[in-house]
Structure 1
Amino acid sequence: MHRRPGASRPTRHRVGPDTFGLDEERVLRFADGTLDPAQEPRLAEEVAEVLPLGWSLSPRAKERLYTVTEHLGGELRLLEWLDRHPGLPRLTARLVVLTGILDRYSDDAGVVEALRSSRAEEPLPAGLEGVLPPETDEETLSDISYRIDELLFERHPQDAARLALATTDWLRSAARRAAPSSPGTGEMGDLMDHLHKDISEAGTAA
């Protein structure tokens, strides 16, 4: 849930964060255990709407998100809670996991080199036309991560899911092509297989 330093980029087309919000009364009732269970799915949807670019929210919105997160026991528990709610919350949780992994792999020289080698054989992987820059470098995966967050924040969850699936396809293909002696790329291939399945399942219900 935390962008690595420098991973976030400003955007000209983002919808202003103050047009999104968490209902204050709903948040407070959830935190003190008095929220009607029938209202919890709506709260999960509100959290899913603000979470992808939560760093850019207004201070009041950040405070409400923090209240929900702390009540649940931290960021991991927040994602697990979102995953229990089908539709946008579940899809968002699984995409947030992917974007965190993409940011982490941006710092893995072996992974970056595997992606360069993959693009030497397939310059424009399917579904990533217009997304990938001509050259692959340490910023490539974090740029994709940010774009997924941005699409979610702008309320285009199916577009975000399609980009995520194209990205997991590319990374697992790159892992298969990489030298077997590279432990980072081997792990990446396994993770991408798992995430591709999870995101596919969540996306069909969003």
Structure 2
Amino acid sequence: MKRNTTSRARLLGAAEEVFYARGIATTAVDVVARAAGVAKPTLYAHFASKSALAAAALANRHERRAADLQARLEEAEPGEPRLLAVFSWLASCYRDDNGRGCAFLNAAADSPADEPVAAAVREEKTWLLNTLTRLSGEAGLVRPAEVASQLLLLIDGVAGRVLVRGADAAADVTATAARAAAVLIEAARPQPWRA
């Protein structure tokens, strides 16, 4: 049983790395199996299809990212600083990935909408939108769901810029998005004339 668990973990790690670097549609499962050091039948013993493997790899990435963000939020002061901490977390994600933008958006562009991959992408983006909505509410902002949606647009825009300009641009692009987020947050603070 331990061997199967180890094989599954190696497959998930290899799938995350290979699919992120090369894309899902253009990468054969043989490449993932070789990267994981397992035989192709072992891959199919754990995952019914390439889509199932890719979706599981995305879910694995999501769990790690969610834990990383939670740790970052716990370090930040409540309110607006915590909301802006999402952007420093985002910058660290791109720095650590050394890569190609958002793995989830890349996967969505690379996979048909009816696949398990698309469901994993929707779950990630829904989680992030809900997190931003909660943080916007905790910061006392007016229309927290609208602010959260605007912030998510900024975050997705960062992903596009990093994909186009490369990993070296990630820090600058994320800092620019954080400044835009601060403007949105400022505009969403309660004002006496709004009461």
State the TM-score, normalizing by the size of structure 1. Answer: 0.32
**Which structure's CA Rg is the greater one?**
2
Q: Please identify which structure carries the higher helix content.
A: 2
Relative contact order (alpha carbons < 8 A, sep ≥ 6): 1 or 2 greater? 1
State the TM-score, normalizing by the size of structure 2. Answer: 0.33
